[in-house]
Structure 1
Amino acid sequence: MKNDERICSIALTLCPGIGHIGAKRLIDGMGSAAEVFCQRKELPELLPGVSPAVVAALDNPAAFLRAEHEMEFVEKNRLSCLTLKDESYPSRLRECEDAPVVLFFKGNTDFNRLRVIDMVGTRNATEYGKQFCADFLRDLSASCPDVLVVSGLAYGIDIHSHRAALANHLSTVAVLAHGLDRIYPYVHRKTAIDMLENGGLLTEFLTETNPDRHNFVSRNRIVAGMSDATIVVESADKGGSLITADLAVGYHRDCFAVPGRISDASSRGCNLLIRDNKAALIQSAEDFIEAMGWNPAGEPVKPEGIQRDLFPELSEDEECIVGILTRQGDLHVNALVVEADIPVNRMTGLLFELEMKGVVRAMVGGVYHLLM
């Protein structure tokens, strides 16, 4: 069992004092969770900075017993257990320093499709916010029918985003603040079930985990990290959606906010995000598509290839980026990360070099254009 990457990844999350960042660093350093445990005693020599306390925390038979119990639930209920090593793990999220080392999923979708957004907001949504969700996703589906819509299944903007996505045949995923042995809030159970055919339910939490307040904050980093862009529809001047927006900015993702009247409490957070330049103002799907540089469905992608012999000094990775832009046209940096399978911190450096060489041009919203 100690060679099973899934069980080792789950067990690693149960070792006290290691945390999200520490666990991911151990896996990145050793190549897998199984290797972390296999070479536990040698870690201080193999990975500078690993303390004896970490080694002691990894000596945890109870963690493996709990992990094995969790895998029994996963297999019995036909769930997916995704580790950092799985191709189907959300690649955008994998690049985040505090990415979960294991995720549990029930449903049917591709987390690594070309376009992923999250829509978040207040639990006390107004008719204005609800209507924006409906109109925005209706219009977005017409231009970008393959977009994945992520939210949190909560009251208010979250549930209306999921339902609007379903109504427009868009794949939609709810990131939960508890295990997959329950649905919270229970009144959203039908919507959750409807999502399983085209989307689903995703969580980092084990079964028997209560939807405690701090879990929602932890959940928000997954929502922001797995998306190209965060859209805050309505928010008070404090709340979880503002935390998600801050996380998105910290992950170098695009962030947008829907403006409202200054007298409306439910729009104060959005107006503050726009005022403080943390989010761009959008009023429609058309605004969003233009800002992201997304080609509408059916728009032809330029077929011409770039003259490779004009750029003899391009590295292999630079050639890869040029090839992707040649085939697909203008792309957002996050889409390039997914397509090229290059970490975002290295991708930004490569794009800067290509810009300096006059090969690409940075456009509004983190989109890159190939110069002919």
Structure 2
Amino acid sequence: MTDPYAWLRLAAVPTLGGHRISRLLQHTTPRDLLSMSAADLAHIGLTAAQIQHYLNPPDAKIAHSLAWADQPGHTLLTLDDPAYPALLKEIASPPPLLFVKGETRWLHEPQLAIIGSRSASLDGREAAYEFAAAMVAANYVVTSGLALGIDGQAHYGALKNGGATVAVLGSGLNRIYPAKHRDLAAAIVEQGALVSEFWPDEAPRPQNFPRRNRVISGLSVGVLVVEAAQKSGSLVTARYALEQGREVFALPGPIRFAGSRGCHALIKNGAKLVETPVDIFEEVGALTDCVKNSHSGLRDEQPENEKLPFPALLANVGSEATPVDVVAERSRQPVHEVMMQLLELELQGLVTSVPGGYIRTRRG
């Protein structure tokens, strides 16, 4: 059973990151460390400076974080918690702690990340919004970094279309950054979750954002880069995604537009060129199923005897956009009947309309 105090005390030791803590815990537990002497701690690999910090913990900071976690809607997830996100746990240096404000259940659903430039063009902002809307319609959670520009539009696209979204911060959850997005952050808490590996009152610092970026990609089954300059944080996130075995997608743009150059570089190096959301859904199916299966015990499963409506029609709608007339031809039904059935299925969240026709959602 997880011990929050023991984990906070361990995580408070400087230079002891997720990778080293994971190795340390192959031999002991945070709770067992509490009773160890300086000699014992040295024996399992801690340096003299680390031992000094561990034996003299910042008690006020730890108490404050425990009090934060006790508030309604606040959760402290530790690396040994069964509710810790399965995909994130698999990365090279998983955060030993995750502070979460909102519903943790969204961290167990398949997530797609949308990232890009803070100074995005109008076309880029519209694309981020539209792709987010299509993703939540297909039962994905949209994940991003709460930044201005593309990140904010991705979060809005999910929220305004009735979906869930996760924002990963480069600061503590008591220090929302940027300040312009405080209202957006409050909306995300109601319809998703705010996540940070940083202690609640930690200020945003430049060195925090690469760490935040690896969490964004680590939580997600795929990462879409909408706009990015040749040197940007979005490309850092894309690099993390590749290292973590995630799919990377990029939107092409005008060749003379600086915001297209990062995306074009990614495409040259193997990222998938994306024109529609279906291009993404086709690639992430296997990892999506893995996420769903890994936390099947944490969700209410569909009853075995529950039958989906219009099975003959649903059987002819897949992960690729299928035009209405093609669905009608395959299911051997009149077009007007097919349109009525598709409308009902869309209202139930079993199919969704995309450019070129309809696709079946994960729920369907």
Both proteins in one fold, TM over 0.5:
yes
1:336 aligns with 2:290: yes
C-alpha displacement at 1:21, in angstroms?
1.6
Distance in 2 (CA, whole Å) between partners of 1:174 and 1:13 is 22
Distance in 2 (CA, whole Å) between partners of 1:52 and 1:213 is 27
The percent identity for this pair of structures is 33
On the 8 A contact 1:177/1:212 being kept in 2, the answer is yes
C-alpha displacement at 1:292, in angstroms?
2.2
On the 8 A contact 2:78/2:84 being kept in 1, the answer is yes
Distance in 2 (CA, whole Å) between partners of 1:86 and 1:198 is 23
Corresponding residue for residue 273 of structure 1: 266
Corresponding residue for residue 53 of structure 1: 48
C-alpha displacement at 1:262, in angstroms?
1.4
Q: Note closer, same or farther for the CA distance 1:234–1:208 as it changes in structure 2 (3 Å cut).
A: same
Distance in 2 (CA, whole Å) between partners of 1:156 and 1:79 is 27
Corresponding residue for residue 202 of structure 2: 209
- Deviations along 1:316-340, one digit per CA (max 9) or x if unpaired, are xxxxxxxxxxxxxxxx146426625
1:290 aligns with 2:282: yes
- Aligned-partner SS, 2:77: strand
Report the aligned-residue RMSD: 2.2
1:66 aligns with 2:61: yes
Q: Note closer, same or farther for the CA distance 1:43–1:61 as it changes in structure 2 (3 Å cut).
A: closer
Distance in 2 (CA, whole Å) between partners of 1:287 and 1:104 is 33
1:189 aligns with 2:182: yes
1:122 aligns with 2:145: no
C-alpha displacement at 1:88, in angstroms?
1.8
C-alpha displacement at 1:152, in angstroms?
0.7
Q: Note closer, same or farther for the CA distance 1:5–1:109 as it changes in structure 2 (3 Å cut).
A: closer
- Aligned-partner SS, 2:245: coil
C-alpha displacement at 1:55, in angstroms?
6.3
- Deviations along 1:7-50, one digit per CA (max 9) or x if unpaired, are 221221211232232122223432x32223334643565x5xx2
- Deviations along 1:45-102, one digit per CA (max 9) or x if unpaired, are 5x5xx25537624643333442122212332465101101222211111111211111
Distance in 1 (CA, whole Å) between partners of 2:76 and 2:251 is 35
Q: Note closer, same or farther for the CA distance 1:24–1:64 as it changes in structure 2 (3 Å cut).
A: farther
Distance in 1 (CA, whole Å) between partners of 2:288 and 2:235 is 21
Distance in 2 (CA, whole Å) between partners of 1:189 and 1:337 is 30
- Deviations along 1:271-327, one digit per CA (max 9) or x if unpaired, are 0000111x111111111112223xxxxxxxxxxxxxxxxxxxxxxxxxxxxxxxxxx
Distance in 2 (CA, whole Å) between partners of 1:114 and 1:201 is 15
In the alignment, residue 336 of structure 1 is paired with which amino acid?
C
- Aligned-partner SS, 2:229: coil
Corresponding residue for residue 91 of structure 1: 86
Which segments of 5 or more consecutive residues in structure 2 lack a partner in the other structure? 296-364
- Aligned-partner SS, 1:183: coil
C-alpha displacement at 1:134, in angstroms?
2.3
1:250 to 236, 243, 256: 243
Q: Note closer, same or farther for the CA distance 1:118–1:29 as it changes in structure 2 (3 Å cut).
A: farther
Q: Note closer, same or farther for the CA distance 1:207–1:258 as it changes in structure 2 (3 Å cut).
A: same
Q: Note closer, same or farther for the CA distance 1:52–1:157 as it changes in structure 2 (3 Å cut).
A: closer
On the 8 A contact 2:73/2:102 being kept in 1, the answer is no
1:80 aligns with 2:75: yes
Q: How do 1:1-372 and structure 2 match up within 5 A?
A: 5-30=3-28, 32-39=29-36, 41-42=39-40, 47=44, 50-53=45-48, 56-57=51-52, 59-76=54-71, 78-142=73-137, 144-145=138-139, 147-277=140-270, 279-293=271-285, 332-333=286-287, 335-336=289-290, 339-340=293-294
Greater shift in the superposed pair: 150-159 or 202-211: 202-211
Aligned length: 294
On the 8 A contact 1:14/1:63 being kept in 2, the answer is yes
Which segments of 5 or more consecutive residues in structure 1 lack a partner in the other structure? 294-331, 342-372
Distance in 2 (CA, whole Å) between partners of 1:194 and 1:154 is 15
Q: Give me the TM-score of the superposition, normalised by structure 2.
A: 0.75
